[in-house]
């Protein structure tokens, strides 16, 4: 039997590190743009500063969402409901939990939406 508490803790740690790195990257892009007068909005050679900022901000939002899902899974684990589909109540297969440790629903319920 897999120790899902340890798995979720590892997932949380990786997400926290990714979030920290993304925030540092965003700060670097913002800081770098403060000292430039380049017209990057019309530069055909690459992406704009605004695009880079938006991309990093979206990745930050996704990572924060991952952390919320991991924390919710940890709460379900503590409550004894981890591994049960929140829609139908059936057991979520271990293969799915192994691939997506924060999964809330079984595959059938995900397909039904």
- What is the per-residue pLDDT for 14? 98
Q: Are 27 and 58 members of one domain?
A: yes
As for how many domains the chain has, the answer is: 2
Q: Are 42 and 64 members of one domain?
A: yes
Cα separation, 101 vs 10, whole angstroms: 10
Q: Are 23 and 78 members of one domain?
A: yes
Q: Are 73 and 98 members of one domain?
A: no
Structure tokens at 89: 């109540």
Length of the chain: 113
Q: Are 32 and 66 members of one domain?
A: yes
Q: Are 39 and 21 members of one domain?
A: yes
Q: Are 59 and 90 members of one domain?
A: no
Cα separation, 37 vs 81, whole angstroms: 55
Q: Are 71 and 101 members of one domain?
A: no
Cα separation, 4 vs 26, whole angstroms: 32
Q: Are 108 and 59 members of one domain?
A: no
| Cβ-based neighbours of 37, under 8 Å, separated by 6 or more | none
pLDDT digits (tens, 9 = 90+) for 43-88: 555 567 788 899 999 999 999 999 999 999 999 999 999 999 999 9
Residue 109 backbone phi and psi in degrees, to 5: -70, -30
Q: Are 15 and 60 members of one domain?
A: yes
Please state the pTM of the whole predicted model.
0.83
**Domain range holding 106?**
85-113
Helical H runs in the chain?
A: 4-34, 49-79, 94-99, 107-112
Q: Are 60 and 103 members of one domain?
A: no
Report how far apart, in Å, the C-alpha atoms of 24 and of each of 20, 36, 61 are. Answer: 6, 19, 14
Q: Are 13 and 54 members of one domain?
A: yes
pLDDT digits (tens, 9 = 90+) for 4-29: 999 999 999 999 999 999 999 999 98
């Amino acid at each position: 039997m897999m120790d899902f508490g340890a798995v979720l803790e590892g997932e949380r740690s990786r997400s926290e590190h990714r979030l920290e790195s993304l925030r540092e990257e965003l700060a670097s892009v913002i800081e770098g743009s403060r000292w430039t007068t380049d017209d990057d909005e019309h530069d055909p050679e690459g992406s704009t500063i605004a695009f880079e900022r938006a991309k990093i901000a979206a990745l930050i939002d996704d990572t924060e969402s991952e952390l919320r899902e991991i924390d919710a899974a940890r709460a379900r684990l503590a409550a004894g409901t981890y591994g049960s589909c929140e829609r139908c109540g059936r057991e979520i297969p271990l293969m799915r939990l192994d691939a997506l440790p924060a999964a809330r629903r079984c595959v059938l319920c995900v397909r039904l939406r």
